[in-house]
Chains A and B, each alone.
Chain A
Amino acid sequence: MNFQALYETYSKPIYRFAYRLLGDDEEAKDLTQDTFLILHRNMDSGSRIERPKAWIYTVAANLCRDRLRRRKKSLEIMADFLAEQSRSDPKADALSREDVGIVRRSLAKLPERDRVLVLLYQDELTYAEMADATGIKKQSIGKILSRAIKKLVTTINAGESR
């Protein structure tokens, strides 16, 4: 697969992934560009990428983590920030603003690793690809994922029932 084909296939999923995780359109765009710039440099230098999907998601997940760390905000502040983002989201206005806010806040309450994992799960990555992207052992993915899903469901349901 050449670079152009990879960009066409994965640029939108990567943007979506970054947007869900960072909650900001501009940042998500920057991150998508950075991810593909790194991919381009690697391919240009002649490096062979065995599993491009996992590779691209790994780079994107790492860049997302760097950005989240740079924000230096606690989970509480992050939750507020994401809730604020949801208020200015036009789609959120059209659908249910409150619902989106609850999902964002619940997601922000998960540990960073679990948050990334759940979003990779949403993008239909296999356990092997998720393991590559997060650095978690493949054997542990199911366990961590099931716990994260359970926690997220409980938090969302608790938020909705209030």
Chain B
Amino acid sequence: MRCITRETAQAWVDGEISEKTRKKLEPHLSHCPICQERVKDQEKESEQILEKLSKLDPEEIRLGEFKGECLRPIRNDQVPFRRRMWSASIRIPVPIAAVVGIIFLGLSINFLGLGLKKDSGYQSSLSSRAKTTLFLSTADSTQAIDLAIDLSGYVPISKPNALFFKEAVK
């Protein structure tokens, strides 16, 4: 019979060998010095490890009683009806209102922001155009500026027409 492996020696030490295998191994182990040595080594190492690992144990263990009931999560059917309804009345409409609000706000900012931008852009471009046109067509710059200011106040949002200014200046 072959000598036992380290693994089998470990199982032998730990009493994890089946009765059948034990009966098979016993005759060999009783007269094989190599196997006997192996088992002895394994036993020694295991004892050594258990002794060393016990040094890691805490000095004392203070654990309170386990209050299982306190820690149990509350099931939905245990919540009072009123609270459930209140919770449902908040849970559904609030996110919807929030989403609608955000969309509305976004659209408003977008609409107003672009409108203002467009408007002011046109205003300034119209003013400068008007100023230039007027400056070229009139000798009096003060009058031109006044007119430009007046014109900028009445400019429509639509794209300005160069002719309109020429006509307006005349």
Note whether A and B form a binding pair.
yes
Which residue of chain A has its CB nearest to the CB of B68?
A: A40
B58 near A25 with CB under 8 A, answer yes
A77 adjacent to chain B (CB < 8 Å): no
Inter-subunit contact A16/B57 (CB<8 Å): yes
Chain B's closest residue to A140 (CB) is B7
Closest B residue to A145 by beta carbon equals B10
B56 beta carbon closer than 8 Å to chain A: yes
* Tally of A interface residues using CB under 8 Å: 47
B55 to A99, Cβ gap below 8 A? yes
Q: Are A15 and B52 in contact (CB under 8 A)?
A: no
User: Is A75 an interface position by the 8 A CB rule?
Assistant: no
Interface residues on B, range: 20 to 34
- A20 to B52 CA separation, bound complex (whole angstroms): 12
A91, A126, A127, A141: the one contacting B58 at CB < 8 Å is A91
* Given A19-B58, A127-B16, also A41-B52 (CB < 8 A): no
Name which of B43-51, B80-88, B133-141, B143-151 contacts chain A: B43-51
Residues of B within 8 A of A103 (CB): 52-53, 55-56
Q: Is the CB of A33 within 8 A of B66?
A: yes
A146 adjacent to B63 (CB under 8 Å): no
Given contacts A118-B49, A150-B45, is CB(A15)–CB(B72) below 8 Å? no
Shortest beta-carbon distance from B36 to chain A in Å = 17
Chain A residues within CB distance 8 Å of chain B? 3, 7, 11-12, 15-16, 19-20, 23, 25, 28-29, 32-33, 36-37, 40-41, 44, 89-92, 95-96, 99-100, 103-104, 107, 118-119, 121-122, 126-127, 141-143, 145-147, 149-150, 152-153, 156
B residues near A (Cβ < 8 Å) are: 6-11, 14, 16, 42, 45-46, 48-50, 52-59, 61, 63, 66, 68, 71-73
List 12 extra interface pairs beyond A16-B57, A95-B55, A142-B8, CB under 8 A: A12-B61, A15-B63, A20-B57, A25-B58, A28-B58, A40-B72, A89-B59, A96-B55, A103-B55, A121-B46, A145-B10, A150-B45
